[in-house]
């Protein structure tokens, strides 16, 4: 049972941390370094947490890091679970349910994504304003636990308006360009074909990736406020005359890393100040 898995994981983690985390961070490909900045870190490897799957993708360390960032108690997923790795969809989102039970009210979710809108360029940070689930998968399929959330959760403001304002101000303060866009979730692991990229653009997508949407659905179901940020790691297939590679994705996110790190730090700082 899902609930039992959540409870077991929560018990294991709570025995290791002192106060409840306020913000949950999900760090995407190449962006896990943010967790290295967490002060007085308590690190819990996914493989040691009862009920947790083990992450398999390169570039993901696979641990939860609890501690303080800008004076705020946070819990970060250094590496996430992707549907394309073969996990059942409810395992992909298990950590979000666990972070909710641990006490988070806000979730900052990040990813590397391919730019579909040609106004984006590799290295850009994109504030996710909305998403399109292009997979037919949904982590809430199955019995609904009404103690967690409603059967038919509203997704009209999946990406919280107030958090988006905070993010815009943080970017402005740092002199960073933060573009807006709609994130499209494709299952992967193959990248899109050029025809699929055209379709995504026609559908209203600005960037495409293989994560985030399941976690956001579960977070909204549970009443967590979400801020989503994509790091544009490449232009999606067919836009430039070159093949896509995971190496390029990692290299570009590493290059955008400093901007990303200072941006998220500033967002957390502002959230704390505004409280």
Among 63, 106, 225, 233, binds ligand HPA (CB under 6 A): 233
Q: Is 55 part of the annotated catalytic residue set?
A: no
Q: Is 82 part of the annotated catalytic residue set?
A: yes
Report if residue 210 touches ligand HPA, rule: CB under 6 A. Answer: yes
What six digits make up the tokens of 164? 């988006």
Q: Is 210 part of the annotated catalytic residue set?
A: yes
Report if residue 191 touches ligand HPA, rule: CB under 6 A. Answer: yes
Which of 234, 235, 256, 270 is the catalytic position? Answer: 234
What six digits make up the tokens of 163? 């958090």
Q: How far is the CB of 244 from ligand HPA (least distance, A)?
A: 6
Q: Cα separation of 195 and 243, whole Å?
A: 14
Total binding residues toward ligand HPA, as defined by CB under 6 A: 15
Q: Cα separation of 43 and 138, whole Å?
A: 30
Among 95, 209, 214, 228, binds ligand HPA (CB under 6 A): 209
Distance spanning both ends of the chain, measured CA to CA: 37
Rg, the chain, Cα only: 17
Q: In this structure, what are the phi and psi dihedrals at residue 76, rounded to the nearest 5 degrees?
A: -115, 140
- E-assigned strands of 2-93? 23-27, 39-45, 63-69, 72-78
Q: Is 29 part of the annotated catalytic residue set?
A: yes
List of residues contacting ligand HPA (CB under 6 A): 112-114, 186, 188, 191-192, 208-210, 233-234, 236, 244, 249
Residues annotated as part of the active site: 29, 60, 82, 84-85, 112, 210-211, 234, 246
């Amino acid at each position: 049972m899902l609930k039992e898995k959540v409870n077991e994981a929560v018990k294991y983690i709570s025995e290791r941390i002192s106060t409840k985390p306020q913000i949950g961070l999900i760090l995407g490909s190449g962006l896990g370094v943010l967790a290295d900045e967490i002060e007085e870190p308590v690190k819990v490897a996914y493989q040691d947490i009862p009920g947790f799957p083990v992450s398999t993708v390169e570039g993901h360390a696979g641990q939860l890091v609890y501690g303080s960032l800008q004076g705020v108690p946070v819990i970060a997923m250094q590496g996430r679970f992707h549907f394309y790795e073969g996990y059942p969809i409810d395992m992909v989102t298990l950590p979000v349910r666990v972070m909710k039970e641990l006490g988070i009210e806000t979730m900052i979710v990040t990813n590397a994504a391919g730019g579909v809108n040609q106004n984006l360029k590799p290295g850009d940070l994109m504030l996710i304003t909305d998403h399109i689930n292009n997979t037919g998968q949904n982590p809430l399929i199955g019995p609904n636990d009404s103690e967690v959330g409603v059967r038919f959760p509203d997704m009209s403001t999946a990406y919280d308006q107030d958090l988006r304002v905070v993010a815009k101000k943080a970017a402005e303060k740092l002199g960073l360009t933060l573009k807006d866009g709609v994130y499209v979730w494709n299952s992967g692991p193959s990248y899109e074909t050029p025809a699929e990229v055209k379709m995504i653009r026609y559908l209203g997508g600005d960037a495409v990736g293989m994560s985030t949407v399941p976690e956001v659905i579960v977070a909204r179901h549970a009443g967590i406020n979400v801020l989503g940020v994509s790091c544009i790691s490449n232009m999606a297939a067919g836009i430039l005359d070159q093949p896509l590679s995971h190496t390029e994705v990692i290299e570009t996110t590493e290059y955008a890393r400093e901007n990303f790190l200072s941006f998220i730090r500033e967002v957390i700082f502002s959230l704390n100040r505004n409280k």
